[in-house]
Amino acid sequence: MNELIRCPKCGEMKPREDYYGVRKRSGWCKVCSRAKSAAYYAANKERQKAKHREWVAANKERVAAHKAKSAYGIPLDEYEQLMHEGKCAICGNTERLRIDHCHVSERVRGVLCDSCNKGLGFFRDDPARLRAAIRYLEKPEIFTVVRPRCPRLQPWGGKGGSVHPCTCQTPVGR
């Protein structure tokens, strides 16, 4: 028998399935509850975002496990087993680990650090491109520098994030 319950907010008679909670006998119907939550969020958007950021920061493992389940279909025990190894399969780094997966088969391949995972992504997970990059890196230099680098020049990534052109004309070694 499908029992109807009156929502105290809208006054409509609705079946038990239209209410949240185990008892489903008290409180507002789902439609009214959602409307109340949406109105509260709209009125307190920045506060709610800050609370969410705090919760995510305090629950990093839980968030990562949820993402692994929703994005890759990995249950918590498999996720923990993958992360238990605790290092990148390419470089051995132990920080900022990510789950790596094949973009064609959607299957998980293992764990990589953020840099190696992005590197594979930039090469579009294409072994031929990676082999070509290795050949390029291993070939001898064929260009010579016309003018030696100025010792006062900031290293790449220095203040301002870029290398500035040098106009000092100071000879190297002085």
Confidence at residue 103, expressed as pLDDT on a 0 to 100 scale? 82
Contacts of 80 (CB under 8 A, 6+ apart): 65
User: For 7, left (φ over 0), alpha (ψ -120 to 50), or beta?
Assistant: beta
Residue spans of the domains in the chain: they are 59-138
Element (H, E) at 15: strand 13-15
Q: What is the pLDDT of residue 162?
A: 46
Assigned CATH class of 59-138:
alpha beta
pLDDT value, residue 149: 63
Q: What is the pLDDT of residue 131?
A: 96
For residues 80-103, one letter each, b for 16 or more C-beta atoms within 10 angstroms of the residue's C-beta and e for the rest, the string is: eebeeeeebebeeeeeebebbbee
Which pLDDT belongs to residue 147? 63
For the chain, which residues score pLDDT lower than 70? 1, 22-26, 144-174
Q: What is the pLDDT of residue 112?
A: 95
CA 136 to centroid of chain Cα atoms: 31
pTM above 0.95, yes or no: no
pLDDT at residue 84 in the model: 85
